[in-house]
Amino acid sequence: MQGSASENNAREGGRQIKLGGVLSYIQIGLNVLVGLVYTPIMIKLLGRSEYGLYNTVASTVAMLGVLNLGFSSSYIRYFSKYREAGDRESVYKLNGLFLLIFLIIGAAALACGLFLTGHLELVFDKGLTQAELETARVLMLLLTVNLAVSFPMSVFANVITANERFVFLKLIGMIKNVASPLLTIPLLLLGYGSVAIVAVTMAVSAAVDAVYVVYVLRVLRERFVFRGFPKGIFGQLFGYTAFIAINIIIDQVNWNVDKTLLGRFRGTYTVAVYSVGAVLQTYYNTFSSSVSGLFTPRIHAISNDSAIDSAERDRRLSSLFIKVGRVQFMMLMLILTGFVFFGRSFIFFWVGEGYDEAYAVALMLMAPVTVPLIQNVGIEIQRAKNLHRFRSLVYLGMAAVNLVLTVFLAQKYGAVGAAFGTAVSLVAANGVIMNIYYHLRCGIDVPAFWRSIGRLSLALLPPAALGAALMLFAKPASLWALLGEIAAYTAAYSASVWALGMNGDEKRMVLAPLKRMFERLKK
């Protein structure tokens, strides 16, 4: 009976991953579409200055996310361990322990945010006007409350993820991402400004959190036990999450401190330019992370499987590393190469004049991050093997370099200088060092990975030639003309990758759902 239950769980997990993967792409497409429509409307209704102010304050509050300390990752690790052993009582105690931890973290975030709200001059010395400072205080207060509540509520999302209910998560995520803009735009038209954006965000988040709580308690029937925690569990958790916490700090430095420093040194106009480039880079990231995130429970299950030896474990993890990396590479190269050829014209038609530097900002943020994005399954493999300390130390050095460079370059070169500082630090850390570590310490077959990517890269040459010709000789006079060029490039890219790059398994992965769809239509 035990084996039968395990097999059923494995089949259900596989089904959830497949459906979750499909929904991930739908969610990404929907998010990008909503963002592409919503962002220029928001910029127009807010104005460039208030748009920059909103992004500055949001980035500052987001840096309080470091208080998470990596506990979310450790939850999934311990959940997988206890579920593999069939120990439901320990799972319930784990739920209660993490809810208590995140309640404390939420209270700490609230205290820090309230202090910053009352002492905003510590963050924005001379970059904001007096009127902007007053608006910033309101935004800071609301965003702080939202962040503080999000910490304990994140436990319920973690429980759903650990149970591999990806379909539910993706569907709710899609509803959330569409609801916020639809509710915000009427308020912006009525003149409520950036405060309305934050208020709607809080209301939608509260509704989603309530749905998560009901789902966890009523559907998954999870319990939260607040006593009898295993002896020494706190020490184990802090030992595991300490270096993940460093990674979170690093991420905040790399992706949020630029806007805060630009707001301090150059003002909200410059932040607005940087934010346009940064939001494109954010979309770029989601195309990768949304896929790899589906495999987090599977990675921990392989790592905790006592029925296989270490060599077989490494083989399976390497296979997963290569398989997911290839899919991510094909997807990301379409976006990156397409942006190289059409990005400047796209930004002009998208948000209008005055954002020329956003093209350089976006490229400098997107290109260096491509290597870690196609290898981000490796991050979870490190965590599953408890080998994530080295990466944390390397990235800590990278963040320090980024911070120092940005302080100097942002003052002199504005948005482009801040992006360049981030790019230099990313290139330094994500190339040779981490790949050597993946291979020598984590047991991942990195040479096989790059051989596979190298062969796949040959398929990019024909569409790149077309893209270069279009960029040099076909200047789009309208948005529709630009979209036509992008469609032609996408078709050429897809045909080339299909004919010259994809292997049999990848082609079957694409054809299988299409075949099932046609079979259903025939019935």
The DSSP secondary structure of 268-304, one letter per residue, reads HHHHHHHHHHHHHHHHHHHHHHHHHGGGHHHHHHHHT
Number of structural domains in the chain: 2
Query: Given this model, what pLDDT does residue 212 score?
Result: 93
- Whether 100 is in a domain gets the answer yes
Distance from C-alpha of 285 to C-alpha of 426, rounded to nearest angstrom = 14
Domain limits for position 363:
242-458
- Whether 250 is in a domain gets the answer yes
Query: Given this model, what pLDDT does residue 142 score?
Result: 93
Encoded amino acid at 230, one letter: P
| Residue with more model confidence, 522 or 165 | 165
Distance from C-alpha of 306 to C-alpha of 84, rounded to nearest angstrom = 10
Contact 47, 221 (CB under 8 A): no
- Whether 507 is in a domain gets the answer no
Q: Are residues 272 and 221 in the same domain?
A: no
Distance from C-alpha of 303 to C-alpha of 27, rounded to nearest angstrom = 29
Q: Are residues 263 and 218 in the same domain?
A: no
Q: Are residues 442 and 304 in the same domain?
A: yes
Q: Are residues 328 and 394 in the same domain?
A: yes
Q: Are residues 328 and 217 in the same domain?
A: no
| Domain endpoint, select from 230, 253, 287 | 230
Residue with tokens 């802090």: 238
- Whether 24 is in a domain gets the answer yes
Mean pLDDT of 486-492: 95
Q: Collect all residues with Cβ–Cβ distance below 8 Å to 256 and sequence separation of at least 6.
A: 59, 60, 62, 63
3-class SS shares of the chain: helix, strand, coil, % to 5: 85, 0, 15
- Whether 271 is in a domain gets the answer yes
Distance from C-alpha of 177 to C-alpha of 194, rounded to nearest angstrom = 17
Q: Are residues 320 and 206 in the same domain?
A: no
Contact 120, 132 (CB under 8 A): no
Q: Are residues 291 and 256 in the same domain?
A: yes
User: How remote is the C-alpha of 440 from its chain's centroid?
Assistant: 27
Q: Are residues 412 and 294 in the same domain?
A: yes
Query: Given this model, what pLDDT does residue 361 score?
Result: 92
Query: Given this model, what pLDDT does residue 130 score?
Result: 80
- Whether 448 is in a domain gets the answer yes
For the chain, give me the number of helices (H) and strands (E)? 20, 0
Q: Are residues 145 and 171 in the same domain?
A: yes
Of 115, 99, 101, the C-alpha closest to 64 is 115
Contact 448, 322 (CB under 8 A): yes
Percentage of the chain beyond pLDDT 90 is 21
**Poorest-confidence range of 31-35, 142-146, 335-339?**
31-35
Distance from C-alpha of 15 to C-alpha of 224, rounded to nearest angstrom = 27
Distance from C-alpha of 464 to C-alpha of 492, rounded to nearest angstrom = 9
Give Cα separations from 298 to 76, 80, 294, 316 (angstroms): 10, 9, 8, 11
Give Cα separations from 318 to 190, 325, 326, 330 (angstroms): 54, 10, 12, 18
Task: Give the model confidence (pLDDT) of 234-253 as tens digits.
Answer: 777 777 676 667 777 777 77
| Domain endpoint, select from 424, 458, 492 | 458
Query: Residue 507: enclosing H or E segment and its boundaries?
Result: helix 504-522
What DSSP character marks residue 499?
Answer: I
Half-sphere exposure of 374 (CA within 13 A, CB side): 24
Distance from C-alpha of 179 to C-alpha of 500, rounded to nearest angstrom = 41
Contact 392, 398 (CB under 8 A): no
Q: Collect all residues with Cβ–Cβ distance below 8 Å to 90 and sequence separation of at least 6.
A: 82, 230
Mean pLDDT of 124-142: 81
- Whether 335 is in a domain gets the answer yes
Identify the band that residue 2 occupies on the pLDDT scale cut at 50, 70 and 90. Answer: very low
What DSSP character marks residue 229?
Answer: P
- Whether 59 is in a domain gets the answer yes
Distance from C-alpha of 437 to C-alpha of 490, rounded to nearest angstrom = 35
Q: Taking 90 as the threshold, does the pLDDT of residue 398 lie above it?
A: no
**Poorest-confidence range of 19-23, 128-132, 216-220, 272-276?**
19-23
Overall pTM > 0.85: no
Query: Given this model, what pLDDT does residue 483 score?
Result: 92
| Domain endpoint, select from 230, 265, 280 | 230
Q: Are residues 271 and 362 in the same domain?
A: yes
Going 303 to 304 to 305 to 307, the CA torsion angle's sign is positive
Q: Are residues 294 and 430 in the same domain?
A: yes
Q: Taking 70 as the threshold, does the pLDDT of residue 140 lie above it?
A: yes
Task: Give the model confidence (pLDDT) of 90-121 as tens digits.
Answer: 888 888 888 998 899 899 999 999 998 888 87
Query: Given this model, what pLDDT does residue 171 score?
Result: 86
Of 290, 291, 295, the C-alpha closest to 380 is 295
Q: Are residues 280 and 219 in the same domain?
A: no
Task: Give the model confidence (pLDDT) of 46-90 as tens digits.
Answer: 888 888 888 888 888 888 877 776 777 778 777 877 877 777 888
Per-residue DSSP letters for 441-476?
TS---HHHHHHHHHHHHGGGHHHHHHHHHHHHH---
**Poorest-confidence range of 14-18, 239-243, 252-256, 333-337?**
14-18
